[in-house]
A = this chain, B = another copy of it.
Amino acid sequence: MWAPGDAPGLVLGDGAQIGDGVLVGANVTIHEGTVVGPGCSLGDNAVVGRRPVLSARSTARRDDELEPLRIGAETRISAGAVLSAGTVIGRACVVGDLATVRERCAIGDGVVIGRGVCVENDTAIGAETKIQTNAYITAYCTLEDHVFIAPCVVTTNDNFMGRTERRHALIKGPTIRRGARVGGGAILCPGIEVGEEGFVGAGAVVTKDVPPRTIVVGNPARALREVPPDELLDAQ
């Protein structure tokens, strides 16, 4: 990687603020006004601070109210990742290869967003939460601190799948409480809550709330037993 002045193919938008010691890969695009904290790295082909695109002939107003993307110190953005304006990413995070984070997200410190993960708009992710490879975090989700999302987890936010007017008021992603863990390929239905330190088994289809410190499995998911005490956060 290179200092920004030496990086091949860097496209640097007006007013971007690049902190001390930032390293940049090949063919990186930093959009206008983006704030990249000190000690960050941006992998090859990363696109950061991208604004939503309107059709060239659209009469819609450009969403001028989106703040520039802000990336905290010592955060690593990997190859081919695409991060939107209007979002704040904390310190010492990792965003994996080919991951995307959309607008109006708040990502805490020390968060890991794995390779190929998509975090949709208007989502909040607490500190030290880990979202593993190819998991999908839908719009209007809340993930609290120390959550663990295994690879290829699916979250959803619309029981009506695009029909009825009343759905607009009801669209809501899952809420995943502090320390909860969701297993590989599990599917979370719209609006459900996974309680504190709850545990969803791999491949479970979660159609109702998961009580705190409870393990659920199956399709549809049902309670199996309590989370063992040595797996609770306080025991780590």
Contact = CB atoms under 8 A, between A and B. Distances in A.
A39 B147 CA distance: 43
B29 A55 contact: no
Interface of A is mostly: loop
Interface string A148-188: 10111011101011111000000000000000010111010
Contacts of A136: 133-134, 151-152
Nearest to A138: B151
A11 interface: yes
A39 B26 contact: no
Contact of A82 (B50, B92, B97, B199): B97
Taken together, the copies of this chain in the complex come to 3
Given A21-B57, A133-B136, A80 B45 contact: yes
Contacts of A155: 151, 184
Contact of A162 (B38, B156, B181): B181
14 contacts: A9-B11, A26-B27, A43-B47, A45-B45, A47-B80, A56-B74, A80-B98, A115-B118, A116-B116, A134-B136, A156-B202, A185-B205, A203-B205, A219-B219
